[in-house]
Chain A
């Protein structure tokens, strides 16, 4: 019963050795397709015991190496550490503690606002819900300027420790904010992150996972989109032993507009997994998904592994929906594996547009040849191509200092393997 949405379609499972550019095109499933279980059966609950302990064969968990979760999934990971959550105005060197009109509260489990974003849909998320000590609620009720991003820093509990986190970012109606959600440090963490964006509000949020090498983070992001509200969510995964993110977009009223962008860069031994669900349940909403990943596993090391599942559902009542999703993976070395499964399920024909694309390929030798044929040395040509590949995601980040940091991080990743 803990199985999630099952619009399963021909997946793009690509092993690097010998794999040329491969376009995954599982086709579009329609409501008449008999293989698809109804999405209404997607199970959600706050109660961890309502979910069976995953064994690894479930659709929801089949890509995740459960033994590396340190017991987050089976109840054996006792909370013996705490995550430090701090909120600043500004980002990086310019950050201050003066938050202006932003309200930060630490609340108990029973707070009525918790759950406004969404309800856990897997056992680890429910475990986090049952186990967090206090929840942090950050409320914005004004239109903040773009130059004043809010930075929420989540620092892991430390090596060998486990912690559960609950974070909610709320934008009241017509509020506007740019938020950087910066995850770092060591340890094992399960989290729920709620992004509750009220009518007419506009949230731009960059969620950075720059964990230390030992860290394990399993997080559910619950996006609640009010009437005519806008969320631009960018998810950046650079570090950690295992990072698994499950953003769910819930449209609460017509007119919602959501962009989900992502960038992940996995080295040898790292497992980075993204499972998206965009649930178009009301009319006149828009979603645009663009995730880009690069993988590099050094010879003799463990493979780099990324998983991207993009589920988009357009329900019968969601007329005039406009949606597109794209996932691209760049295999920089042989020792890498990228799984990419876009699913698009459409229950009404009355939509503006719907599309999806997925491609995983090795470094494009033709691009390399073209640049080198103009005199550009190979090393530099490779960097230009990778920078260009990620540029579409990074250039949209509106916090200049963060953009610089992300560019530097990508450069550092490339240096690391000397590709």
Chain B
């Protein structure tokens, strides 16, 4: 059993008018085999939370810690975090021209597993995972994310999830820009990996749509850089019915 614990996390970014605080004391604990949905309006800091956990250099942590089984991942380099078992499915996966998907996947698997996967098993493993996600085999020879449609990019993020087998996965708006069919495929990929592992999932989304496919155990409403309210799946239903208004109004009454 593993635990991902976010404690009093404060994060700022550099803007033209100086540093701006985006996260203002996030507290959140995710255990293995749990799926937590983080929902919030645009600009509430959801993606900042995702990228801060992964270690994107744009974000500066000014206070707090992120502990993976008691170890502070904030002290680790980006690649060390991934090798420790963290995974971020990005909202906007980056194109890397000239690096083939197959070369990339193998390099990543070698790094996270600590040894190069045996060629024969690996080829089969990739093929199966690609088939499950309805990815055409020709993509293996294409450059990483280059010229991929939005849906193709998201499918490849979930493909990496399946192959790199992290302890915790942060899915940053993996549902955005997907049509219903693509959403179903991507959700199935996440659910398959959940079923065959003990992964803990932090599912970041603006809409409740994806929660119909990936059932959350906990739902957190994220407003103004922190968790405003936590609850069970019923909280998502309330958001579906009433939107974020109750929370954003509350925010104005009690400024940070």
- Closest CB pairs A-B (n = 9): A388-B98, A375-B111, A375-B82, A374-B108, A388-B99, A370-B94, A375-B112, A391-B98, A372-B78
B66 at the interface (CB under 8 A from A): no
**How far apart sit A205 and B77, CA to CA, in the bound complex (Å)?**
44
Q: Mark B94-112, 1 if CB is under 8 A from A, else 0.
A: 1111110001100110011
A40 at the interface (CB under 8 A from B): no
B88 at the interface (CB under 8 A from A): yes
Question: Can you name 29 A-B pairs with beta carbons within 8 Å?
Answer: A367-B94, A369-B56, A371-B104, A372-B78, A373-B55, A373-B78, A373-B88, A373-B90, A374-B82, A374-B107, A374-B108, A374-B111, A374-B164, A375-B108, A375-B111, A375-B112, A376-B79, A376-B107, A376-B111, A377-B111, A378-B77, A384-B96, A384-B107, A385-B99, A388-B96, A388-B98, A388-B99, A388-B143, A391-B98
- A:354-391 near B, CB below 8 Å: 364-367, 369-378, 380-381, 384-385, 387-391
Q: Mark B62-86, 1 if CB is under 8 A from A, else 0.
A: 0000000000000001110111000
| Given A373-B55, A388-B99, 15 new contacts (CB under 8 A) | A366-B94, A367-B96, A369-B94, A370-B144, A371-B104, A372-B82, A373-B79, A373-B88, A373-B90, A374-B111, A378-B77, A384-B107, A388-B98, A392-B97, A392-B98
Known A371-B96, A392-B98; judge A378-B90 contact (CB<8 A): no
* Interfacial residues, chain A to chain B (CB-CB below 8 A): 364-367, 369-378, 380-381, 384-385, 387-392
B57 at the interface (CB under 8 A from A): yes
Which B residues lie within 8 Å of A390 (CB)? 98
CB distance from B75 to the nearest CB of A (A): 15
The answer to whether A377 touches B99, judged by C-beta atoms less than 8 angstroms apart, is: no
B150 at the interface (CB under 8 A from A): no
CB distance from B131 to the nearest CB of A (A): 21
With most chain B CB atoms within 10 A of its CB, the pick from A364, A375, A376, A385 is: A375
CB distance from A90 to the nearest CB of B (A): 29
CB distance from A396 to the nearest CB of B (A): 12
Q: Which of A375, A376, A389 contacts B98 (CB 8 A)?
A: A389
The answer to whether A376 touches B99, judged by C-beta atoms less than 8 angstroms apart, is: no
The answer to whether A370 touches B96, judged by C-beta atoms less than 8 angstroms apart, is: yes
Which B residues lie within 8 Å of A375 (CB)? 79, 82-83, 108, 111-112, 164
**How far apart sit A378 and B81, CA to CA, in the bound complex (Å)?**
13
B160 at the interface (CB under 8 A from A): yes
* Interfacial residues, chain B to chain A (CB-CB below 8 A): 54-57, 77-79, 81-83, 88, 90, 93-99, 103-104, 107-108, 111-112, 143-144, 160, 164
CB distance from A186 to the nearest CB of B (A): 33
**How far apart sit A374 and B113, CA to CA, in the bound complex (Å)?**
11
The answer to whether A384 touches B103, judged by C-beta atoms less than 8 angstroms apart, is: yes
Which A residues lie within 8 Å of B144 (CB)? 370
**How far apart sit A370 and B79, CA to CA, in the bound complex (Å)?**
9
CB distance from B78 to the nearest CB of A (A): 4
Q: Which of B57, B143, B160 contacts A365 (CB 8 A)?
A: B57
Which A residues lie within 8 Å of B79 (CB)? 372-373, 375-378, 381
Which A residues lie within 8 Å of B94 (CB)? 364, 366-367, 369-370
**How far apart sit A42 and B56, CA to CA, in the bound complex (Å)?**
52
Which B residues lie within 8 Å of A364 (CB)? 94
**How far apart sit A370 and B54, CA to CA, in the bound complex (Å)?**
10
**How far apart sit A390 and B98, CA to CA, in the bound complex (Å)?**
8
Which A residues lie within 8 Å of B104 (CB)? 371, 374, 384
Which residue from chain A places its CB closest to the CB of B163 in the assembled complex? A374
**How far apart sit A377 and B76, CA to CA, in the bound complex (Å)?**
12
**How far apart sit A364 and B103, CA to CA, in the bound complex (Å)?**
19
Which A residues lie within 8 Å of B164 (CB)? 374-375
**How far apart sit A105 and B18, CA to CA, in the bound complex (Å)?**
70
The answer to whether B56 touches A387, judged by C-beta atoms less than 8 angstroms apart, is: no
CB distance from B243 to the nearest CB of A (A): 32
Known A365-B57, A380-B107, A388-B143; judge A372-B99 contact (CB<8 A): no
Which A residues lie within 8 Å of B108 (CB)? 371, 374-376
CB distance from B130 to the nearest CB of A (A): 17
